[in-house]
């Protein structure tokens, strides 16, 4: 079935450090891929998305590229800020039944 | 645009009572809405898919008689937790997909924290 595997946290970085959160997905069909961010006590906010192979999603300094050959959608940011501290979820959308499948989430803590 | 609200944002109820949670798309129409459950420090688990004017489709292992879903209009879906028990305490999140577009992107509500005592 559909699944998403993302690196387990927690991840703790110092401000201005480079961030990578790995995500791989099952390749069944032609899924759209997403990264969502969840701040403490809040719902999910879409961070970025990519709908087809080689697409690069970007927002707020975060980037992720849809890699069909490696079935990956790794999240990167060149210089993290304290305000980036949150839980990040990778997700795939089944374009047949519109269901989202989420990874387990990665808690990121950025220290000043 | 694409704002989804949930009401209430948090609720405490006694065991055995029922609780209704509303999910509204404020500035768009949503033929399809989704209900998720999130346990502390865990991922979102899809509970059911709600389509306007028809019965909800529940995921395997979700009791449809316990979690009643109604999608009476293109902007409102409700989740009623019937005869709630402490194990139903959780963070419930809804999402909505815009009608009439090719994008199947889901827009999420802020969530409702349910505590059953």
Q: What does the pLDDT look like over B1-47, one tens digit per residue? A: 788 999 999 999 999 999 999 999 999 998 889 999 988 777 889 99
Inform me whether the C-beta atom of residue A62 falls under 8 Å from chain B C-beta atoms.
Answer: no
B56 touches chain A (CB under 8 A): no
- Taking an 8 Å cut-off on Cβ atoms, the answer to whether A100 and B106 are in contact is yes
- State pLDDT tens for residues A66-101: 999 999 999 999 999 999 999 999 999 887 777 889
Cα dihedral B82, B92, B99, A4, rounded to 10, equals: -130
For residue A23, pLDDT beyond 80: yes
Q: Which residues contact A61 (CB under 8 A, 6 or more apart)?
A: A77, A78, A79
* A78 neighbors A58 (Cβ within 8 angstroms): no
DSSP 8-state code for residue B59:
P
Average pLDDT over residues B45-59: 90
Under DSSP, the state recorded for A82 is G
Q: Please name the member of B34, B42, B111 whose beta carbon is closest to the beta carbon of A42.
A: B111
pLDDT of residue A111: 96
How many angstroms away from the CA of B47 is the closest CA of chain A? 11
Percentage of residues of chain A with pLDDT beyond 90: 71
Q: Which of A49, A101, A105 is nearest residue B105 as measured by Cβ atoms?
A: A49
Name the nearest CA neighbour of B38 among B96, B93, B77: B93
Query: Which DSSP string do the residues of A42-91 spell out, in sequence order?
Result: --EEEEEEE-STT-EEEETTEEEE-BTTTTB--EEESS--GGG-EEEEEE
Q: Is the pLDDT of residue B100 over 90?
A: no
Please judge whether B110 and A89 are an interchain contact, meaning their C-beta atoms are less than 8 angstroms apart: no
- Does the structure show a pLDDT above 80 at B68? yes
Any B CB within 8 A of A52 CB: no
């Amino acid at each position: 079935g559909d699944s998403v595997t993302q690196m387990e946290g927690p991840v703790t970085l110092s401000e201005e450090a480079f961030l990578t959160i790995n995500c791989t997905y099952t390749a069944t069909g032609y899924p759209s891929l997403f990264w969502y961010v969840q701040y403490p006590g809040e719902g999910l906010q879409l961070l970025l998305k990519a709908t087809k192979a080689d697409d690069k999603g970007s927002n707020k300094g975060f980037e992720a590229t849809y890699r069909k050959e490696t079935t990956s959608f790794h999240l990167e940011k060149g210089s993290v800020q304290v305000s980036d501290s949150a839980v990040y979820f990778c997700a795939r959308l089944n374009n047949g039944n519109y269901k989202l499948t989420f990874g387990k989430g990665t808690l990121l803590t950025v220290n000043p | 645009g694409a704002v989804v609200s949930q009401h209430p944002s948090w609720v405490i109820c006694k065991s055995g009572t029922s609780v209704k949670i509303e999910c509204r798309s404020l500035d768009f129409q949503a033929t399809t809405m989704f209900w998720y459950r999130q346990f502390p420090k865990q991922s979102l688990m899809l509970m059911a898919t709600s389509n306007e004017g028809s019965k909800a489709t529940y995921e395997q292992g979700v009791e449809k008689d316990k979690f009643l879903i109604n999608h009476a209009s293109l902007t409102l879906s409700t989740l009623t937790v019937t005869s709630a028990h402490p194990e139903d305490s959780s963070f419930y999140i809804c999402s909505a997909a815009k009608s009439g577009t090719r994008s199947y992107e889901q827009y999420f509500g802020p969530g409702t924290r349910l505590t059953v005592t």
